[in-house]
Amino acid sequence: MLKIYGADLSAPANKVRMTANALDLDYEYIRVSLREGQNRTEQFLKLHPAGKVPVIDDDGFVLFESGAIIKYLAARESSPLYPEDIEARAITDQWLDFTAIHVGGALSKVLFNRVFASFTKVSVDERSLSDGIKFLDRFLPVIDRQLSQNKYLAGKQFSLADIALLATIDPAEAAGIDLSGYDHIVEWRQALKKKDFYTKCHASYEAALKNMMAGAK
Ligand SMILES: N[C@@H](CCC(=O)N[C@@H](CS)C(=O)NCC(=O)O)C(=O)O
């Protein structure tokens, strides 16, 4: 059976779980405690040489990097989530990359400095924090504009790009990022957060964060 190694507060890992849910796949979810260093064990480093989640083990086929994993899973299922038409696929890839590199890159700077730095007793990097905020102010309007003109991120069809964006911006509130001015993102997100593929992953990122904080005390 497909195994997904992840962590409840890892947006890339949740992207993989949400994709597996959307594809209706049976899988075993294996929680890797990053806090306890389970990602740095000799055994885990055989799966991911840099000790990161997510990783999948699909009956012996081991793969890391969430973008590669979700494309593999959707292609394995010949799913329209990752269209076969080369132009539609390229547009899906375009938004997947934009989301991972620009939106995800900026949001993780804010999340790390506002939430995880104190949690892991690392000092806040003010420059990185302000860069993250500045980049989000630049990139979120691009997403909002795209969603003002299209029902879904890559166009008319729900795709991997939507799942990736949903998982990527999941920590926004926890990171103190106010999305309320982005009307189209808000509307698109509200609709998708009601879907099974999301609720089977977690009720909300904030609830998962609260659980972790409570458990860590
Ligand atoms: N680009 C990677 C990012 C993976 C990543 O950075 N995962 C984090 C959790 S969100 C991790 O495992 N961190 C543990 C560490 O770096 O030690 C992906 O999309 O899969």
In angstroms, what is the span from residue 178 Cα to ligand 1's centroid? 24
The per-residue pLDDT for range 150-169, each reduced to its tens digit, is 999 999 999 999 999 999 99
Contact 171, 178 (CB under 8 A): no
For residue 217, pLDDT beyond 70: no
Contact 105, 187 (CB under 8 A): no
- Residue with CA at minimum distance from ligand 1 atom 11: 52
The per-residue pLDDT for range 165-197, each reduced to its tens digit, is 999 999 999 999 999 999 999 999 999 999 999
Q: What is the DSSP string of 84-108?
A: SSHHHHHHHHHHHHIIIIIIIHHHH
- Answer with the residue of higher pLDDT: 96 or 213: 96
Ligand 1 atom, smallest distance to 67 CA: 19
The CA distance from 62 to 67, in Å, is: 14
Ligand 1 atom, smallest distance to 34 CA: 14
Domains along the sequence of the chain with CATH = 2-76 (3.40.30.10), 86-216 (1.20.1050.10)
The per-residue pLDDT for range 27-82, each reduced to its tens digit, is 999 999 998 999 999 999 999 999 999 999 999 999 999 999 999 999 999 999 99
- Residue with CA at minimum distance from ligand 1 atom 9: 10
Ligand 1 atom, smallest distance to 11 CA: 10
Q: Please give the C-alpha separations between residue 9 and each of 14, 60, 104, 204, in angstroms, as whole numbers.
A: 8, 26, 14, 10
Mutate which of 8, 52, 56, 122 for ligand 1? The one with the most ligand atoms within 8 Å of its CB, which is: 52
Those residues with Cβ within 8 angstroms of residue 120's Cβ, 6 or more apart along the chain or in another chain: none
Instruction: Decide the pairing of beta strands 2-6 and 27-31.
Output: parallel
Two structure tokens written together for 66: 């969430």
- Residue with CA at minimum distance from ligand 1 atom 2: 65
Q: Please give the C-alpha separations between residue 120 and each of 14, 40, 112, 201, 216, in angstroms, as whole numbers.
A: 21, 16, 10, 25, 11
Nearest to 169 by CA among 1, 23, 4, 14: 14
The per-residue pLDDT for range 96-116, each reduced to its tens digit, is 999 999 999 999 999 999 998
Two structure tokens written together for 19: 């994709």
